[in-house]
Structure 1
Amino acid sequence: MISIVGSGRVGTSIGFLCVSNGLDDVLLVNRDKRKAIGEALDVASAIPENSKFTIRGTDDYSQISGSDIVVITASVGVYMKDRTENIVLQVRMIKEIAQKIKQYCPSAVVLIVSNPLDVLTYFFQKESTIPRFKVIGIASSLDTSRFRYLISETLSVPQSSISNAIVLGEHGDSMVPVFSRVTVGGNPLFSMIDNRDTITDGVRNYWKKLRNFKSRSQFGIAKNTFDVIDSIVHKKEIIIPASVVLQGEYGESDVAMGVPVKINQNGISEIQKIKLDDTESSSLKKSSVKIRNDIQSIHT
């Protein structure tokens, strides 16, 4: 069973993708029981006729017992200027959810989607004591999708011609698009652009531009999260950037941030080490400092 905590647009979209693709039974958990039930009733109409799975809604955490995967999309409110706006309330929320998951399904693989992503991934893992490789923050893969899209738009080339685009670090203003590895049609990206600043700013502020036209992002993060769920359910490996609590990798410890990982049915099987240029290494260090400062602001 796949349990999704939070029945807003993102949580419901993830549930829709799981159900319409016949992955597994889905449980929507929401503090507003009527909201969870209503969304489940709506998504249920997308169940394929040959599927043996269903979807339900509840406000009762005990029903997540036995879940193989738990996705957390819950939020205490909408942020407008920065993903850390509601950090204190969000950390309090994630700790409460962590206790529920520790109680009812401590062996589940947990996917964190709520913001501030890296801070919440860190506090969930510490509060739940679930092994760090089974607590995965899903966001850097979304930033990577946006990075690839902006390269495509800048150069007027199809995304299929772009290889090795990746974004590391914070899911926030200090995220680090890695230009040095990108090729377009087999040629280095650096041979096609004057500098990296415009695209970097575009990736970091993508959500702000999107919000000029709609209330918040929905489908991109839902698809990126679904891809991870699909890899776990079908026991196939996927390599993406994702946030995980680090213990020495990339020279960082006691912080969670986006790094390249290999995921299989058990969660993260490997943190991959990739070569960065000096600018990217320096930016990644600054990003880790930003996340650590946000984490420490909760301790004081």
Structure 2
Amino acid sequence: MISIIGAGRVGSSIAFLCVSSGLDDVVLIDRTKDDAIGESLDLANAIPSTSKFSIDATDDFSKISGSDIVVVTASTGVYMQSRTENLSQQVSMIKDIGAKIKQYCPSTIVLIISNPLDVLTYFFQKETGFSRFKVIGVASSLDSSRFRFLISKKFSVSQSDVSDAIVLGEHDISMVPIFSKVSVKGKPLLTLLSDEEKNSMTQDVREYWKKLRKYKGRSQYGIAKNAFDILEAIKNSNTLSVPACVVLEGEYQTNDVAMGVPVKINQNGISEIYEIALNSEESSMLNLSSEIIKNLITSIEN
């Protein structure tokens, strides 16, 4: 069973992908019960006739008992300029949700979608005491998808012509696109861009969400698909290599901070955190990103 906490755009989009593909039973939980019920009534009609799975809706956290995976998409409000705008309220929320998940399904794997992603992943893991390999923040894969899309638009090629586009670090203003790994139709990306173009693309990746919000409000499909890919890997016992947020204990010369790094995911959660070679500029930017996250964590702890 997959439980999804938050029946808004993102939560309901993830639920749609789960039920329409026949991945597993879904429980949709929202503090406003009627919202969850309304979404579930609609989503129930997307379940294939050949599927044995169902969807339920509630505001009762006890219904998550027995969940293999819990996905947290809940939010206390809308941010407009930075994902950290509602920091203290979001941390309080994640602590409350964490206590309920620990009470009702202490062996589950948890996907954190809510923002600020890195800080909430950190506090959820620390407050619950869950294995760091079972608390997965889903955002860097989305940022990597956006990076790949921008590269494809820049060179008028399909996204399949872009290889190894990956973004690490904070899911916010200090995220680090790893240009040194990317190739476009087999050509190293760094040989195709000037420094000015690289800096401009970095800014475009970091502010992609602002452009999206200008035209449609909050995003939903990209993050839903990236979350679903992880859910599918876990439920089907596949191995997925993807950047994701995890609490680090020495990897990338970082301790006691959660941020996006390359990982492998299987039916048990994160099976491996692996390090890739970065150039000196990328290493410096990633170190700065970890410091920014650490400062946010410290601001709450103090």
Q: How much identity, in percent, do the aligned residues show?
A: 64
Give me the whole-angstrom Cα distance separating, in 2, the residues matched to 1:185 and 1:81: 36
Give me the whole-angstrom Cα distance separating, in 1, the residues matched to 2:143 and 2:99: 29
Give me the whole-angstrom Cα distance separating, in 1, the residues matched to 2:88 and 2:33: 25
Give me the whole-angstrom Cα distance separating, in 2, the residues matched to 1:16 and 1:211: 22
Give me the whole-angstrom Cα distance separating, in 2, the residues matched to 1:190 and 1:255: 29
TM-score normalised to the size of structure 2? 0.99
2:69 equivalent in structure 1: 69
What letter corresponds to residue 148 of structure 1 in structure 2?
A: R
Give me the whole-angstrom Cα distance separating, in 2, the residues matched to 1:289 and 1:280: 14
1:290 equivalent in structure 2: 292
2:25 equivalent in structure 1: 25
Once the two structures are TM-superposed, the CA of residue 215 in structure 1 deviates from its matched residue by 1.0
Structure 1 unaligned spans of 5+: none
Partner SS for 2:52: coil
Counterpart of 1:278 (choices 270, 277, 280) is: 280
Residues 55-79 of structure 1 show CA distances to partners (whole Å, capped at 9, x for unaligned) of 0100000000000000000000000
Once the two structures are TM-superposed, the CA of residue 192 in structure 1 deviates from its matched residue by 1.1
Runs of 4+ in 1 over 4 A off after TM superposition: none
Once the two structures are TM-superposed, the CA of residue 186 in structure 1 deviates from its matched residue by 1.0
Give me the whole-angstrom Cα distance separating, in 2, the residues matched to 1:81 and 1:207: 10
Partner SS for 1:106: coil
Residues 170-206 of structure 1 show CA distances to partners (whole Å, capped at 9, x for unaligned) of 0000000000011111110111111210110010000
Partner SS for 1:290: helix
Give me the whole-angstrom Cα distance separating, in 1, the residues matched to 2:125 and 2:191: 42
Give me the whole-angstrom Cα distance separating, in 1, the residues matched to 2:38 and 2:129: 33
What letter corresponds to residue 286 of structure 2 in structure 1?
A: L
Question: Does 1:187 find its partner at 2:187?
Answer: yes
Question: Does 1:230 find its partner at 2:236?
Answer: no
Moved more, 190-199 or 236-245: 190-199
Residues 211-257 of structure 1 show CA distances to partners (whole Å, capped at 9, x for unaligned) of 11011111000000000000000000000000000000000010000
Give me the whole-angstrom Cα distance separating, in 1, the residues matched to 2:20 and 2:38: 17
1:79 equivalent in structure 2: 79
2:161 equivalent in structure 1: 161
Give me the whole-angstrom Cα distance separating, in 2, the residues matched to 1:192 and 1:268: 35
Residues 137-196 of structure 1 show CA distances to partners (whole Å, capped at 9, x for unaligned) of 000000000000000001111111111110000000000000001111111011111121
1:144 equivalent in structure 2: 144
Give me the whole-angstrom Cα distance separating, in 2, the residues matched to 1:27 and 1:156: 42
What letter corresponds to residue 31 of structure 1 in structure 2?
A: R
Residues 8-63 of structure 1 show CA distances to partners (whole Å, capped at 9, x for unaligned) of 00000000000000000000010011111111111000000000001010000000
Question: Does 1:255 find its partner at 2:257?
Answer: yes
1:94 equivalent in structure 2: 94
1:120 equivalent in structure 2: 120
Q: In the comparison of the two structures, how many residue pairs are matched? A: 300
2:269 equivalent in structure 1: 267
Matches within 5 A, 1:29-48: 29-48=29-48
Give me the whole-angstrom Cα distance separating, in 2, the residues matched to 1:299 and 1:164: 36
Give me the whole-angstrom Cα distance separating, in 1, the residues matched to 2:254 and 2:156: 37
Give me the whole-angstrom Cα distance separating, in 1, the residues matched to 2:151 and 2:242: 18
1:172 equivalent in structure 2: 172
Partner SS for 1:255: strand
1:208 equivalent in structure 2: 210
Structure 2 unaligned spans of 5+: none
Partner SS for 2:193: coil
